[in-house]
Chains A and B, each alone.
Chain A
C-alpha cells in the first residue's frame, strides 16, 4: 500500500512541478475585453477617444455638461500665439489676395463631397503583447493623405515644392487648417508620446503623419491556443462627420506603406502582414461614420508554451493509466486491492486540480474559453472518472466476473490495458492536431 501512496505522491509532485514551471514562463492573463465593449472593471478598457488632430477652433454648444476631465487631444490645443516655424509656411490667402478670406478650418468642399482621406498605418515597433489584458504596446505611424485646394501655393514659394513641418510647428499649423477629426478608438489610457509631421504640397496635397507610442486594446481569440494567430488592431474612427462628408479609404501607396518594420522581433510571436479594412460604424438616422482597421497579424511561436502547459497536461493523463497498469490477474483474481489503486486515482485527481488551478491563475483568458487546454483538462477529469468506474466495476465489485465469468473479465482487463491508453492519448493528440489545423 505504501508503494502506491508513494507513487501517487510522486506523480502529484511531478505535475505540480510542471505547473510551477509553466507559471514561471508565462505571463498572468486576465479576461479580454472586446474592442468597443470595454469592461468597467478592467484596467485595459479603452479610455476616451483620442483625437488625432485638434478640434476646430469654434466651440460647439454643449448639450450635456462636459466631463470633469477633458479627453486628451493627441495634438495639443492651438496656442494663442502660434510659434513661428523654421520655414515660414506660405499663406493660401496671401497667394490669392483678391478672393474673400476663407475659413480654412472648415471641410474643404472645392472637390465636392465626400472628402476622401487615405489612411495608412506603419507598425514601427511592437513591444509587448498581453493576451490576458487584451492589449499590446506599439509605436505606430498613422499617415493621412487628403487634398485641400485652399492650401495651394505657387510652386516656387517653397524649395522642392513641399513644405514640411514637425512637432509644435506642425501642430500650430494644423490648428489653422482643416484636418480630419479622427481618433485612435482602441487606445488604452493616454498615449505615452505623440509626434506630428505635416507635409503640404504646392498642389494642395496634404500628408499628416502621427507617430503614437501607446497601449492599444485588441480582441484576442485563444480558441487555437497555442497555435493561434492574433490580429493586433489599430482602430481609426472618424468623429463627427459621416461617411457622406468624410470618407476614409486606402490606395496602393497606403497599402504599401502599411507594414511592420523589418527589425521588429517579439518574444513568442512572429509578426506577419498588416491588413487594412473598412468597417463603417452605424450612426444616427441611417448615417454611418468611417472607420478603418489596421491589423498586424502575429503568429504565436508555440515552443515554450507547449513545454510549459502541454507536457504537464499530457503527463497527468498517465496517472489513471497507472491504476490499470499496476494491477495484474492471477488465478482468476486481481493481485492489487481496489483501494490501493483508488489512492492513485485520488492522487491524480488532486494533481489535475492543482494543474487546473495553476493554469487558471496563470492563463485566466484560457480558462474562460473553449480551447485545447480546457479540452485537455476536461479529458484529464474524464479519464480519472473512467478510471474510478473501472476500479469499482472490475477491482472492487468484480461485476464482470459475477455476470459473465472469470474469462471475460480477464479478457476485458487485458483489452483495457492497451485500449484505454490508446483512446485517451488518441483523443489528446487529436485535440492538439485540431488546434494546429
Chain B
C-alpha cells in the first residue's frame, strides 16, 4: 500500500460521500417542498371543481324549487296539461337558457314518464325508468335529488324536485339541468386551469339520443369514454390516457408532459346519483414553473456539491502531499534541512534524522552527512 495514494483516496472518498449525502438530503428536502406546493395545487384544483359543481347543483335546485312551488305548476302538472305548461314556461325557459346556462327543463309524472321537455317540446313522452334513476328516485322518495346525470339531450348538472298539488299530493317532478360546458369554461377563465369532461360512451349511446352528433366523433374517444367538453381539446387529449380513465374508482393525481410542458393532472371520477360510474373530469394545471424551479435547484445543488468536493479534495491533497509526504521524502533523502521550509515538527524530525545518520556513519565520513 502506498500512503501517497491510499491516504488521499480515503480522505477524498469520505469527503465525496459526506458532500453527496448532504446534497442528496438537501435536494430531497427541496423536492419535498416542491411536492408540497404541487399537492396543495392539486387540492386547490379539486376544491375548485367540487365547489363549482356544487354551485351549479345549487343553481339548478334553486330554480327547480322555485318553479315547483308556483301554483301554476302545481295546477297544470296535476292536470297533466302539457300545452298549458308549455305556454306558461316556454318564455321563462328561453331566458334561462340564453342568460343562465340552463340547458334542460322537464316536467315528469310518476313513476318516471316525461310529460314535457321545455328544451325539446316535440320530444315524445317516453318512460325514463330505464335511464333516469334521478327522476325515478325523486318520484319514489318525493324528495329533491341532485347530481350529474345523462339525459336524452346529453349530460348536465340536474336538480329534480317533487311537485305537490294544492292538497299535498305528489303529482310529479320538475327537473332543471345546467349545462356543464359553461361551468368548466368559467373555471378556465377564472383559474387558468384546463378541464375536460369525459362520459361513458356506452351511456351516451344508450341515453343521449338527442345529444350533438359531433360528440361521437372518433377523435373524442379515449378508452371507454367520449370527450364531451374540453377547454383545450389538443391538450386534454394529450393528457387523458385510456389506462387512467378506464376503471377509475377514486381521484387520481399524476404529472404528465404534454406539448413540451409539465402538467399536473387531476382525474376525478364522476358518478350518477345512484353511484354508478358516469364519467371522468380531467383537470390540468401547468406545473412547468415548479418543475423548472426544482430542476434549477438540483443543478445548483449539484454545483455546490462539486465545489465542495473539489475544494476539500484540494485541501486533502495539498496537506497530505505538500505538507507531509514530499517533506518526509526530502528528509528521507537527506536534503530537507537546507531546501525545505519545514514545520517545527518535521524540522525536529529532519534534524534528529540527520544526527542519527551522522552517528551511524563511521568516523571520517561526517562531511558526507548533509
Contacts and interface: CB of A to CB of B under 8 A. Distances in A.
- B partners with A: yes
Contact of B341 (A404, A419, A426, A433): A404
Contacts of A415: 313-314, 317-318
Interface stretch (A62-70, A251-259, A312-320, A339-347): A251-259
Nearest to A248: B189
Interface in A274-330: 276-278, 299
B339 A406 contact: yes
A250 to B, nearest CB: 6
B182 A251 contact: yes
Nearest to A416: B314
Nearest to A409: B322
Contacts of A402: 341
B292 A407 contact: no
B337 to A, nearest CB: 12
Interface string A387-425: 000000000000001101111111110111001001100
A410 B299 contact: no
A273 interface: yes
Contacts of A332: 339
Contact of A252 (B229, B296, B322, B342): B229
Given A252-B229, A252-B230, A404-B322, A419 B310 contact: yes
Contact of A405 (B181, B235, B321, B342): B342
Interface in B65-102: 98-99
Contacts of B189: 249-250, 276-278
A402 B340 CA distance: 10
Interface residues of B, number: 47
A21 interface: no
B182 A411 contact: no
A310 B263 CA distance: 30
- Contact residues of B: prevailing secondary structure: helix
B236 to A, nearest CB: 10
Interface stretch (B38-46, B153-161, B245-253, B301-309): B301-309
A433 B322 contact: no
A407 B230 contact: no
Interface in B239-259: 259
B342 A423 contact: no
Contacts of A251: 181-182, 185
A193 interface: no
22 contacts: A111-B99, A147-B98, A278-B190, A404-B322, A404-B323, A404-B341, A405-B322, A405-B342, A407-B326, A408-B323, A409-B322, A410-B322, A411-B321, A411-B326, A412-B314, A419-B310, A419-B311, A422-B306, A426-B310, A433-B299, A437-B298, A437-B299
Interface of B: 98-99, 181-182, 185, 188-190, 192, 229-235, 259-260, 291-292, 294-296, 298-300, 302-303, 306-307, 310-311, 313-314, 317-318, 321-323, 325-327, 330, 339-342
The 7 A-B pairs of least Cβ separation, nearest first, read A411-B322, A437-B295, A407-B326, A408-B322, A405-B341, A430-B303, A411-B321
